[in-house]
Each structure stands twice: as C-alpha cells, then as structure tokens.
Amino acid sequence: MTSSSPSGQGADYAATASEAYRAALRVIESVEPRVAEATRKELADQRGSLKLIASENYASPAVLLTMGTWFSDKYAEGTVGHRFYAACQNVDTVEALAAEHARELFGAPYAYAQPHSGIDANLVAYWAILATRIETPGLAELGAKHVNDLSEADWEKLRAKLGNQRLLGMSLDTGGHLTHGFRPNISGKMFHQRQYGTDPATGFIDYDAVAAAAREFKPLVLVAGYSAYPRRVNFAKMREIADEVGATLMVDMAHFAGLVAGKVFTGDEDPVPHAHITTTTTHKSLRGPRGGLVLATEEYAPAVDKGCPMVLGGPLSHVMAAKAVALAEARRPEFREYAQSVADNAQALADGFIKRDGSLVTGGTDNHLVLLDVTSFGLTGRQAESALLDSGIVTNRNAIPADPNGAWYTSGIRFGSPALTTRGFGADDFDRVAELVVEVLSNTQPAAGPNGPSKAKYTLADGTAERVRAAAAELLDANPLYPGLTL
C-alpha cells in the first residue's frame, strides 16, 4: 500500500506479508480450494476496480492477519478481569489495548471495544442510555433497591416504561442511518420516535428547526451523525439542544471517525467532547477490521460495560485484537496526513462533478462523501449504480432528500474518498474519476421492461464500459493496492 497507508513500511514488510498470505492460502487450499480461489479473486477484483463506496476501505495486512489467529477460538463473555470463562488472560490483554488506544486516539474517558458492528454499538448505546436514565428511577417507583428485587409483574411495568421513551434522529432520506429511529429498524420499535431533516432549499441541517422539534417532542435521546450527509455537523449546537430539553446526546460517527481521529474535525465538529455517548465502526474511514466501538462519559460507562450480555453475545476476540492494531496505526502521525487527504480528495471529486454540471446534494462536500443526484442524467440510482459497475466503478445508490424513487431504486449515488485515498490517489486523480463517472452516466439510457418503463433496466452505449475500464486501469496501475504483495 502507499505511504499514506498504515502498512507503508516498504519492501521488507510487503515481502513478509506476501509470504504469510501465500502460506495461509496453501493451508486453506488443502481443505477447500474453492475458498482459496475466491479469496485470490477477491483481491484481484479489488485491485482492478475504482472503489468509491463511502463505507468501505482497505485494512492493512497487519490488521487482516491479526484476525486469523487463535483468538477466534475463545469464548470471553464479561469484561476485562471479570470473565465468565476461564483462561481469558490474553483476551484481557488485547481488549484492554483496544480500549486504551481508542481512549487516547479520541480523547474519551471510556471506551468499549466489544461491539461486533456499528449497529451493535448503537444498540449497546441505546440500552445503556435507557438503563442509566430510566431503570434506576423505575426501580425507585416500584419500591425496589435492586433489579433482583423485581417481580415479573414489576419487570413488565419497566419494559412498558422503557418502550415508551422518545428518540429524535436524522431522517433516512436526508442522510441519517437505519438505526437512528427508522421505523422498520429495531431503533424505531424500541422508541417512540420522530425524525429531523434538512433545509429543503440548501440540504443543510437547520439547527433552529432541530431545536424546535426537540422542544416540542422532548426526546430522551437526541441522535446526531449520518451515513449520507456530505457536510460537517456542529456538535456543540447539538449538545446545547440536548441539554435544553434534558436529552442524552448520542453521536454515531461511524462514517467520519477517521476524520475525527485524524484531527480534520476538531472543536465544535469533534463529537467526542460534546456527546454523552459516541459510537462508531472501526472500518470505513478508520481503516480497521469490521466491528464497532462505544465511547462514553463516566456517567454512562457502567451501563455500556454491560453490553455483553445486555445486547451482545460473546465478544469476537480476534477482531478486538485487530481493532487494537488498527487503532495503534491510527495514532501514528501519517494517519493525520491520510485523513486530511481524504477530505481534500472528496472536495476534488465534488469540484470535478460541479464543473461537469453534476448536481450535488448540498452543492458540495466538506467531509469524505459526495452525493450525486442522477436525475439530471435521466436515471435512477439503481440504473446509474449498475452502469458504473459495468465500467469498473464500484459505488452504491442512495436516497436523496424527498427522493421520488424511494429507498430501493433511489435518485442518488453516494461516493466516498477513503478507499482510493488509501491507494494513494490525489486530487488530480479524483478529478479524473469524476470525468469517468460523468462519461458513463452521459452514455447510459433508461430501458423499458416487459411491462413498460423500468427503474432498473438501462442500456450503455457501445464501447463506453471498455473505454472507461481502460482509463480506470491507468489510474489503478499508478496507485497499486498492497504494492509488493504477491500471491
């Protein structure tokens, strides 16, 4: 990988990693050769495509290799030093290291490294808020001093009380996540929920409107953060709103955690000093293994620490070990350079679309993602996503505010800069990527299905896919993925 990546240690590192992977694949091949072949093909596919999915990245060989160890074989329910299984002393070591690196990296009083994913991290956070804010008063109302004193009838009353609490989060079509109170998601079932959106004219968060909604709704939990909002958030203002109505501020920074870790987002734009609880994934812009983290103030730490068994099953010890490695990488000075390049490259991509008459939600970006409205090309998001994939450009369709095509077909494409930045792409490369995207979309036409107009079918002008793939190959060859790694 490039000098901007955590694995840019040079030829010796690449040679050692190559030896490790070749040996591992031979062992796998001796049992199930089809898995070994699929693994080799996945690397080839990733090397040969422009990965622009905002939620994906490339982990270092050190992180990837850490997951393939004997830690996978351990059960370790409980917490560091307090396990329900014997012989967990080494799990204690790696979990403690992951939490230590997370605390130091983000400046958080407390870190919990056990969540298996971002959704799990959010569930831990929600239940920790409920346990801290609701359970203790509920016990007092029932005349109990401890949860063990409760009868089944008492528990039923508490469950009813917990289930009627209120959550205010960002709506899905304006950039929020499923777990921010979307009705079909468990977060929309646990809580009586409402959602705030963005200014219809600008696409930006209207903090006065959020404050008005909070005053009227009086939520227990105010959720900030996003998965498809291409702007920064003023978390100091969100905390002011939460404090005014007595809400707990929970921030989901899964998408932009790398920009927080890399000090691109500081002050009012850094959620950790302002939120009561902050959740994140460890992949995406953090460039680690697939998993989650919860950061919290001391007030919420005891409840978060009960994530297993409250919400989680046994922690994935091999992934916690990989989190420790990835977070150690993120504490290096070169990660800050990488994070700044992620933001700079997203800006270059947005500028590239704008100068080619692309229509962007909010008119641009100041984080790691760009949201392109493809209706100006006469396409749905699904048609655009498929045509781009045919041309070697990997993206994902995404809803835009007030999307006429709904959440399945959509009217937008979401682009992210983290993965190609890891490969070493710079601003000029991202401008060229924008040019290639526009070329594909300009040469794509909707096609009719058997029963009339289709939101999925399309035709791509002859030669377009081949021409764009060849141009993309030039960019990819100049910025190889895992350079020096040979299988």
| pLDDT reported for residue 3 | 42
pLDDT at 189 over 80: no
**What pLDDT, on the 0 to 100 scale, is given for residue 159?**
61
Q: Sketch out the chain's domains with CATH numbers.
A: 72-330 (3.40.640.10), 336-478 (3.90.1150.10)
The pLDDT of residue 147 is above 90: no
Range from 76-90, 107-121, 129-143, 170-184 carrying the lowest mean pLDDT: 129-143
Q: Which residues does 401 contact at the CB level (< 8 Å), separation at least 6?
A: 173, 174, 197, 198, 200, 203, 361
pTM of the model: 0.91
How confident is the model over 158-163, as a mean pLDDT?
Answer: 62
- Tell me the per-residue pLDDT of 251-271, one tens digit each, with 9 for 90 and over: 999 999 999 999 999 999 999
Choose the catalytic residue: 278, 279, 280, 281: 281
The whole-number pLDDT of residue 439 equals: 98
In this prediction, residue 8 carries a pLDDT of: 54
Summarize the confidence of residues 396-412 as an average pLDDT. 94
Average pLDDT, the chain: 91
The answer to whether residue 42 scores a pLDDT higher than 80 is: yes
Told to judge if 281 belongs to the known catalytic residues of this protein, a careful annotator would answer yes
Q: Catalytic residue among 231, 284, 323, 455, which?
A: 284
Mean pLDDT, residues 228-239 taken together: 97
Which one from 77, 206, 431, 439 is the annotated catalytic residue?
77
Q: Is 284 a catalytic residue?
A: yes
Say if CB 290 and CB 283 are below 8 A apart. yes
CA 226 to mean position of chain CA atoms: 9
